[in-house]
Amino acid sequence: MKKYFLLLLITGLAACHKPNYVAIESPWEPDYKLDRSESSIVAFEKADAQKMPSESGIILTGSSSFTNWKSAVQDLAPLPVINRGFGGSTFPELIYYAERSVIKYKPKTVVIYCENDMFGKKKKSPEQVRDAYVALTKLLKEHLPGVRLYGISLKPSPSRWAQREDVIKANKLIQDFIKTDKKHDYIDVWPVMLKNGRPDAGIFLKDSLHMNEEGYRRWTKVLKPILEKTV
């Protein structure tokens, strides 16, 4: 009897870490060209040709919050960070360029940040954002067995505050998925970006979307201790 209950316990624990890759919403087709950031990827490749980063590093992949983090390597030093954020990318674009912007480096850790999917001309639901995140992580796990993944919450931006309920819902759906996936963690940046319950205007540029140096200082304070545990 004890063996039976032990077997059930082990089975249950294994199920808790089995990724739920099943889509929960109908497919969403991009209304833009997936290769619109080709010049950025080519620039990465030219830099790699000059000096290829070492394997088993930490890749930052995502949209403009990473693209504009020019001091990421210095801010997160001595961690072996490779910043491969490009343009104002979306999850479909991250998937399209995954081989050339992430997988080729054979990283030990991948940190994902992408917030633009719901803010294009063609409506995209929080559920479809979750599904796109899931598709990206499934691809990475297939090509990089043993990789550790971190998903950063979609940040609270003043210019997008009116759509915060959709952002909150997408974050919750992504977080729920991450809980089912082994070696995959969720990083919540909301607490350090709010002031009196609203986005802190003092950490954003004039466009009320992208962060200034103080914003990145706060991100560093959150991310660095977490990433240090992976080295």
Residue 203 has pLDDT above 50, yes or no: yes
Reading the block at residue 168, the tokens are: 């909150």
The percent of residues in the chain predicted with pLDDT above 70, rounded, is 93
CB 155 within 8 A of CB 189: yes
| 15 domain residue, yes or no | no
**pLDDT at site 4:** 44
Within a domain: 182: yes
Give the angle 26-32-38 at the CA atoms, nearest 5°: 125
What CATH number is attached to the domain comprising 120?
3.40.50.1110
Instruction: Identify whether 19 is part of a domain.
Output: no
Quick one: average pLDDT of 71-97? 97
The mean pLDDT of the chain is 93
Statement: the pTM of the whole predicted model exceeds 0.85? yes
Give the HSE-up count for residue 37: Cα atoms under 13 Å, Cβ half-sphere: 26
- Annotate 78-109 with DSSP letters as a single string: TS-EEE---TT--HHHHHHTHHHHTGGG--SE
Token code pair at residue 128:
């479809």
Q: Is residue 16 part of a domain?
A: no
- For residue range 40-65, list pLDDT tens digits in order: 999 999 999 999 999 999 999 999 99
Residue 6 clears pLDDT 50, i.e. is over it: no
How far apart are alpha carbons 160 and 172 in whole angstroms? 17
Which tens digits make up the pLDDT trace of 171-197? 999 999 999 999 999 999 999 999 999
Q: How many secondary structure helices (H) and strands (E) does the chain include?
A: 9, 7
Distance separating alpha carbons of residues 208 and 201, to the nearest angstrom: 7
Domain hosting 187: range is: 34-228
In a domain, 20, yes or no: no
Q: What local confidence, expressed as pLDDT, does residue 9 receive?
A: 43
When divided into structural domains, the chain yields a total of 1
Tens of pLDDT, residues 209-228: 999 999 999 999 999 999 99
Parallel, antiparallel, or unpaired for β 184-187 and 109-113?
unpaired
Measured CA distances, 203 to 31, 36, 188, 198, 216 (Å): 32, 29, 16, 12, 8
